[in-house]
Chain A
């Protein structure tokens, strides 16, 4: 393996997992996909490795989500999804928060969400612009909108839950 790629692996792997996790919502799956993306980078030797990795990872996550959706459809007659693990209050709370953030993220447009997740994973505006095809000047505007919508959607979700609970 090329040394520079190994270095990028050390510095970028956690960010890539973080990025993928918000797409597949399963940390092991996210790690598998991140490793696969790096393994492909070894073969393809892209010029801009970091940007390339996120493009490939995003594609793999999308395919993964489609497959998961197909599998869910196959099983609709059969399944009762196992309930989430009963754990200490703290874990339950964290899980509830995570799920609320997930719901809020899902209310963003795909582009807003993508830009937000790429920024959160540590990509620069330039890298985000290259990857998404946005003009560089539009990245800040997109991020501003994405952040506002995320915060608003999360707050709305909390409100709804309070109302539902009475």
Chain B
């Protein structure tokens, strides 16, 4: 291209209406006497149109402009109509509800598994004592505990904590042989590191009727089970699991960067919220002080592990 011709940049600027007036006049004068550049002008016009089309294909869906946020982090919670779509703001609110309500209810009433499994030791006992020694509180709890699968009613806070801790450790042990949950287990279980002895003890113990294995299922299967898109935190990989084909409860497991695990138990809307036993049967093995469980609508939300301060404050802001 000779100096006297116009370059593509000028043509684009011209077609974009961004060429300064004086340059535009010069360019138009040149185009008037140069068919080659006129041809290129049309090529570039088509190129700009095509690029615009492609970008439009990748445009976000048109949505209403939300209300103006008045302070940083003060994004408005979504209007009610947006809830069914399970949008992130709705999600933040959901998780926040779980936090607010669940924070002081942490160490929720434990499930009483069948008696043979009550051999789990107190949280800080060494693995060696697990199969043989029964912690004193354990007996009390076994007596207090209602039939398997039911929540412990109105136990005092201390007993609840101990029981929850026991349950956590016990389920932790029995979860060991399940290869599908292993990666999460290992990350989350860092605190009380599993020992071979504990694993053996768990294997030796009769299988806990409630600590059922959750098998990973394809997302499509989960969707079919629920009849709707399973709830999940957007932008975060999720794994769907179920206990059995007959039981229409879907567990969606997601892990935040911090290692915190969020589990969502969901049933088809017509069948109400999954029972407490569902949560307890899931793999759980984190220090109770860092575990929350709460119902939000028909959804059971469990959060394991610390929530980073910035997430917490962001969630708080969003809920306001």
Contacts and interface: CB of A to CB of B under 8 A. Distances in A.
A19 to B, nearest CB: 10
A57 interface: no
Contacts, number: 173
Nearest to A35: B75
A1 B183 contact: no
Interface in A59-108: 67-68, 70-72, 74-75, 77-83, 85-86, 94, 97-98, 100-102, 104-105
A6 B68 contact: yes
Interface of A: 1, 5-6, 9-10, 13-14, 17-18, 21-22, 24, 26-32, 35-36, 38-40, 42-43, 67-68, 70-72, 74-75, 77-83, 85-86, 94, 97-98, 100-102, 104-105, 116-117, 119-120, 124-125, 137-148, 150-151, 154
Contact of B55 (A1, A70, A94, A101): A101
Contacts of B255: 71, 74-75, 78
User: Per DSSP, are chain A's interface residues mostly helix, strand or loop, or mixed?
Assistant: helix
Contact of A86 (B76, B88, B220, B237): B220
B9 A154 contact: no
Contacts of B9: 137-144
Question: Which of A43, A137, A146 has the most C-beta atoms of chain B within 10 angstroms of its own C-beta?
Answer: A137
B81 to A, nearest CB: 14
Contacts of B13: 125, 139-140, 143
8 contacts: A22-B55, A40-B72, A74-B257, A78-B184, A79-B237, A82-B219, A144-B11, A151-B50
B61 A27 contact: yes
Nearest to A101: B58
B63 A82 contact: no
Given A26-B234, A101-B55, A104-B54, A39 B73 contact: yes
Contact of A39 (B19, B75, B184, B220): B75
Contacts of A102: 58
B21 interface: no
Question: Which of B9, B89, B183, B220 has the most C-beta atoms of chain A within 10 angstroms of its own C-beta?
Answer: B9
Contacts of A98: 57-58
A156 B278 CA distance: 50
Nearest to B10: A140
Contacts of A101: 54-55, 57-58
A85 B16 CA distance: 38
B89 A18 contact: no
Contacts of A18: 59-60
B69 A26 contact: no
Nearest to B61: A27
Contact of A36 (B61, B70, B72, B218): B72
A143 B16 contact: yes
B29 interface: no
Nearest to B55: A120
A94 B57 CA distance: 7
Contacts of A13: 65-66
Contacts of A150: 51, 54-55
Interface in B80-112: 87-89
Interface in B101-134: none
Contacts of A10: 65
A70 B257 contact: yes
A33 to B, nearest CB: 10
A35 B66 contact: yes
B57 A79 contact: no
B12 interface: yes
Given A141-B8, A143-B12, A143-B16, A28 B70 contact: no
A116 B218 CA distance: 38
B7 interface: yes
A10 B234 CA distance: 26
B236 A125 contact: no
Contacts of A151: 47, 50-51, 54
A42 B125 CA distance: 55
B149 to A, nearest CB: 28
B240 A82 contact: yes
Please give me the 3 A-B residue pairs with the lowest Cβ-Cβ distance, nearest first: A141-B9, A82-B219, A140-B13
A150 B50 CA distance: 9
Contacts of B18: 124-125, 139-140
